[in-house]
Chain A
Amino acid sequence: MLAGENGAGKSTILKILAGIYHADAGDINIRGEKRKITSPEQSQHAGVAMVFQELTLIDELTVEENIFLHTEPRNRFGLVDRKVLRQNTLAAMDRFGIHLDPGILVSRLPVALKQMTEILKVLVREPEIIILDEPTSALASQEVQRLFTIIENLTSLGKSIVFISHRLEEVFAIGHRVTVLKDGKNVDTQPLQGLDEGGLIRMMIGRSLEGTYPAKTLTPNTETVFTVRGLTSSDGRLNNISFDVKRGEVFGIAGLQGHGQSDLLTTIAGLKAYNTGEMSIQGEPYHASHADEAISKGVALVPSDRKSQGLMLDLSVRHNAAISSLSKRLKGIFIDLPAEKQFVQQTIDMLSIKAPNMDSPVHTLSGGNQQKVVLGKMLALHPKVILFDEPTRGIDVESKLEFYQLMLQLAADGVAVIMNSSDLMEVIGMCDRVLVMYEGRVSGILTKDEMTEETIMRFAMGVASQDTPAGNAS
């Protein structure tokens, strides 16, 4: 287990092991033998394999073609021997306990199965040491369980696993020993037995956080700030969704991956069309068929994938933070640059964004800080409804806590706060109520008292359901 905040140096260490970066000093010993790793090739030779956070699969090829890419079995004409390819794939799947349809195009797989393919691709090269960089950040809890089973299987085959995670419960669930990094230095390595979450957090941030989730000081009242009735999309991803968000509450959306949670948020934000249904914000009817319409009516989405949906990575912090609210700082037809500078500085201070300066390209920031830039951009709109899609995916514990506090602050200010998360602990820790989705429908709306991981899972898997969801009287 390797843990630490964003920017602590975890990825750097891994990239050195994988031969992408070079170490200036220090030794790498593998099985007691000193190894020099200065290229990805040497790394592979030394038996190190890495599963990156970003997937490296080719969408247009099938699962088996991806797994044996560059090492395809050839027949005597030098062409790919499909029969042997299939046999080898099935054999590997059996051996490592990962079962997929070998002939399906990768583009048709959900993220979780793509990840399985990626892992299998690494495993067939028979590495001794397997490095997994935040493999669970895109997975729902049930899929995480599956991954853990695979990992246990691998350790029983005598392989060593280095596992990076931001989810503390995972560290405890699967790890034997943990090494914590901070600011590029080794904090400590400890066996996980006898360590608790609080202790681990203290190691990571160098001080103790009161808890992973901030205490709520406000109880939601009965005033409704946002209403959805019978939302149904033509592609069948959403089916008759109804719910209300009360003033002061954080409203959660949960469910297994691919049951329509993200679709619900993007539909509300005007990025996807819907067939029937009505929405209203603070009593005013609301409809948006384009993103700009949604934004002008006070609905802001903090998207799940900040890199592809939220940020212009090559452009500056300043550009990204100011882009949504340009019209508020115009002098004639031109932008009031000093006012913009001041505004960006305020955003940076308010969200404590760590960046070299405001003209640095956003891609130079760490994940947590990038996410804060996205948030800052949306907050500048003073939204009435703010939608968070997996807001804390891949960001460090401290930034997470700051995010949570901000959410509560927004809710207290009367903004309808809706959060979709596949991290059940986060849902339980943060949300006053949670809407659980199953196959595009509302399978239940649970109150704080009813929320446990188990009940949420029961609703998410369609085992339990409420005929008339709570809080929906119409």
Chain B
Amino acid sequence: MIKKNDNKMHFWQRNSHTVLIFAFLAVLMIIVSLFSDSFFTERNLKNLVLSAFPLLMVALGQTLVLLTGGIDLSLGAIVSLTNVSCVTLMNTESSVGWIPALAAAVLIGVLCGGLNGLIISKGRLAPIIVTLATTTIFEGIALFVMSSPGGRVHSGFRQFFIRGINGYFPLIVSIVVVLLVRMISNQSAYGRHLRSLGGNETAAYSTGIKVDRVKLIAYILAAVLAALAGIYLTARMNSGDATVGKNYSMNAITSSVVGGTAMTGAIGDPLGTVAGVFIVTIINNMLNLLGASSFYQFIYQGGILIAALSLSALRRQK
């Protein structure tokens, strides 16, 4: 029989990976601060949040999809597509000229995610293949919308996104989105359904879960989060670029897995993903500071993904 009141053990059982990954993040930050005196300054930490923001959004979306046992390779392309659409549709003359652009970007996110979700759930096709195919479609449309980087961005919109609320606006949005995604995944009925799909789709179906709908919503949520990243990049880069999102899909998978989300689904915590995002971002920044070529960054990212996957495989064997 189960002993009551062993809450400490329950907490550890549920959150061991998340705690460990945050401990790892803390150690990493301390190590980095040894090399750079300015690391723990307000300015630098703010910058860290600013540079991590788009990856954080995409990775949270990827985590939701991974929990269903699926994967979305097209999130990076959705970042690009929403970025160029947002810039193209922006009216820089009117003071409210950014509103339709923002609305359009979110709507495009919903449509892209809806397309992925519909094909995967109704067509009973493998998510990895479907999203690989839609990646090229979304990238193609993005290039069609804006064949070479450029465009003008509404200045009020840009100012607010980057410098609003004393420059804390991105941080506040991050916190709100993280809490929201975590509550959805850990505390809502929908989140339980999400994990059930990853745990055992047949069992989930025969338990009465509307499997298709849960999947569809997961891909839409992920794409909307990718659209947020695209909108944010519009403000930060002050222009549009149809290839801006290229590396986000891969980095988002790495961040989620480093953060403890299982590629096989069901297991994971958005908080862990947050730590994963900062670990990936800090290491990237460090390599930048050291002047390492971006080729090395790709190599290390592949390496870190394999390391994280091996770790989670080891955990499963125990």
**Contact digits for B130-162, partner A, Cβ 8 Å, 1 yes 0 no:** 000000000000000000000000000000000
Name the distance in Å between B187's Cβ and chain A's nearest Cβ: 5
Answer yes or no: A359 CB below 8 A from chain B CBs: yes
Contact, CB under 8 Å: A311 / B1: no
Q: Which of B192, B200, B206, B209 has the largest number of chain A CB atoms within 10 A? A: B206
Contact, CB under 8 Å: B200 / A308: yes
Known contacts A314-B267, A315-B199, A334-B187; is-contact A360 B13 (Cβ 8 Å): yes
Which chain A residues border B247 with CB–CB below 8 Å?
A: none
B: interface residue count bin: 20 to 34
- A271's nearest neighbour on chain B, judged by CB, is B206
- Rounded to whole angstroms, the CA-CA distance of A295 and B208 in the bound complex is 6
Answer yes or no: B3 CB below 8 A from chain A CBs: yes
Which chain A residues border B34 with CB–CB below 8 Å?
A: none
- Rounded to whole angstroms, the CA-CA distance of A333 and B208 in the bound complex is 19
Q: Which of A311, A324, A326 has the largest number of chain B CB atoms within 10 A? A: A326
- Rounded to whole angstroms, the CA-CA distance of A334 and B189 in the bound complex is 7
Answer yes or no: A310 CB below 8 A from chain B CBs: yes
- A335's nearest neighbour on chain B, judged by CB, is B187
Answer yes or no: A352 CB below 8 A from chain B CBs: yes
Contact, CB under 8 Å: B188 / A354: no
Known contacts A312-B195, A313-B199, A322-B192; is-contact A357 B3 (Cβ 8 Å): yes
Answer yes or no: B4 CB below 8 A from chain A CBs: yes
Instruction: Tell me which of A311, A316, A330 contacts B189 (CB under 8 A).
Output: A330
Instruction: Tell me which of A303, A312, A348, A356 contacts B199 (CB under 8 A).
Output: A312
Contact, CB under 8 Å: B192 / A308: no
Instruction: Tell me which of A291, A315, A349 contacts B196 (CB under 8 A).
Output: A315
**Contact digits for B190-210, partner A, Cβ 8 Å, 1 yes 0 no:** 001101101110111111111
Answer yes or no: A345 CB below 8 A from chain B CBs: yes
- Rounded to whole angstroms, the CA-CA distance of A385 and B29 in the bound complex is 58
Answer yes or no: B122 CB below 8 A from chain A CBs: no
Contact, CB under 8 Å: B13 / A359: yes
- Rounded to whole angstroms, the CA-CA distance of A349 and B4 in the bound complex is 11
Answer yes or no: A358 CB below 8 A from chain B CBs: yes
Known contacts A311-B203, A334-B183; is-contact A323 B196 (Cβ 8 Å): yes
Name the distance in Å between B199's Cβ and chain A's nearest Cβ: 3
Contact, CB under 8 Å: A359 / B1: no
Answer yes or no: B60 CB below 8 A from chain A CBs: no
Contact, CB under 8 Å: A326 / B267: no
Contact, CB under 8 Å: A310 / B203: yes
Q: Which of A313, A323, A335, A357 has the largest number of chain B CB atoms within 10 A? A: A323
Contact, CB under 8 Å: A355 / B207: no
- Rounded to whole angstroms, the CA-CA distance of A310 and B205 in the bound complex is 10
Answer yes or no: A182 CB below 8 A from chain B CBs: no
Contact, CB under 8 Å: A315 / B188: no
Answer yes or no: B124 CB below 8 A from chain A CBs: no
**Contact digits for A347-389, partner B, Cβ 8 Å, 1 yes 0 no:** 0110011111111100000000000000001000000000000
Q: Which of B189, B196, B203, B262 has the largest number of chain A CB atoms within 10 A? A: B203
Answer yes or no: B2 CB below 8 A from chain A CBs: yes
Answer yes or no: B64 CB below 8 A from chain A CBs: no
Contact, CB under 8 Å: A327 / B189: yes
Name the distance in Å between B165's Cβ and chain A's nearest Cβ: 27
Contact, CB under 8 Å: A303 / B200: no
Which chain A residues border B13 with CB–CB below 8 Å?
A: 357, 359-360
Answer yes or no: B9 CB below 8 A from chain A CBs: yes
Answer yes or no: A289 CB below 8 A from chain B CBs: no
Answer yes or no: A156 CB below 8 A from chain B CBs: no
Contact, CB under 8 Å: B183 / A352: no
Name the distance in Å between A279's Cβ and chain B's nearest Cβ: 18
Answer yes or no: B6 CB below 8 A from chain A CBs: yes
Answer yes or no: A292 CB below 8 A from chain B CBs: yes
- Rounded to whole angstroms, the CA-CA distance of A310 and B200 in the bound complex is 8
- Rounded to whole angstroms, the CA-CA distance of A248 and B264 in the bound complex is 44
Name the distance in Å between A365's Cβ and chain B's nearest Cβ: 11
Answer yes or no: B14 CB below 8 A from chain A CBs: yes
Instruction: Tell me which of B1, B189, B195, B203 contacts A354 (CB under 8 A).
Output: B1
Q: Which of B9, B193, B199 has the largest number of chain A CB atoms within 10 A? A: B199
- A362's nearest neighbour on chain B, judged by CB, is B199
Which chain A residues border B43 with CB–CB below 8 Å?
A: none
- A315's nearest neighbour on chain B, judged by CB, is B199
- Rounded to whole angstroms, the CA-CA distance of A355 and B10 in the bound complex is 13
- A324's nearest neighbour on chain B, judged by CB, is B207
Answer yes or no: A155 CB below 8 A from chain B CBs: no
Contact, CB under 8 Å: A312 / B205: no
Contact, CB under 8 Å: B188 / A311: no
Which chain B residues border A337 with CB–CB below 8 Å?
A: 187
Name the distance in Å between A386's Cβ and chain B's nearest Cβ: 13
Contact, CB under 8 Å: B196 / A352: no
Which chain A residues border B3 with CB–CB below 8 Å?
A: 357
Which chain B residues border A352 with CB–CB below 8 Å?
A: 1
Instruction: Tell me which of B2, B188, B199 contacts A335 (CB under 8 A).
Output: B188
Answer yes or no: A309 CB below 8 A from chain B CBs: yes
Answer yes or no: A452 CB below 8 A from chain B CBs: no
- A344's nearest neighbour on chain B, judged by CB, is B2
Instruction: Tell me which of B187, B205, B207, B262 contacts A377 (CB under 8 A).
Output: B207
Answer yes or no: B71 CB below 8 A from chain A CBs: no
Contact, CB under 8 Å: B203 / A312: yes
Instruction: Tell me which of B195, B205, B208 contacts A319 (CB under 8 A).
Output: B195
Answer yes or no: A472 CB below 8 A from chain B CBs: no
Which chain A residues border B1 with CB–CB below 8 Å?
A: 348-349, 352, 354
Contact, CB under 8 Å: B206 / A269: yes
- Rounded to whole angstroms, the CA-CA distance of A324 and B188 in the bound complex is 13
Contact, CB under 8 Å: A296 / B208: yes
Contact, CB under 8 Å: A319 / B196: yes
Contact, CB under 8 Å: B208 / A357: no
Which chain A residues border B202 with CB–CB below 8 Å?
A: 308-309
Contact, CB under 8 Å: B195 / A315: yes
Contact, CB under 8 Å: B2 / A357: yes
- Rounded to whole angstroms, the CA-CA distance of A359 and B4 in the bound complex is 12
Answer yes or no: B50 CB below 8 A from chain A CBs: no
- Rounded to whole angstroms, the CA-CA distance of A271 and B205 in the bound complex is 9
Name the distance in Å between B249's Cβ and chain A's nearest Cβ: 25
Known contacts A330-B189, A357-B3, A358-B2; is-contact A314 B208 (Cβ 8 Å): no
Q: Which of A311, A316, A359 has the largest number of chain B CB atoms within 10 A? A: A359
Q: List 23 A-B contacts (CB under 8 A).
A: A291-B207, A291-B208, A301-B206, A309-B203, A310-B203, A312-B196, A312-B198, A312-B199, A315-B196, A319-B196, A319-B199, A323-B192, A323-B193, A326-B192, A333-B189, A334-B187, A334-B188, A345-B2, A348-B2, A356-B2, A357-B3, A357-B13, A359-B14
Q: A292-B208, A333-B189 are in contact. List 16 more A-B contacts (CB 8 A).
A: A291-B207, A295-B208, A296-B208, A308-B202, A310-B203, A312-B266, A315-B267, A323-B209, A326-B193, A330-B189, A335-B187, A335-B188, A352-B1, A357-B2, A358-B2, A377-B207
A-B CB proximity, top 3 nearest:
A312-B199, A295-B208, A292-B208
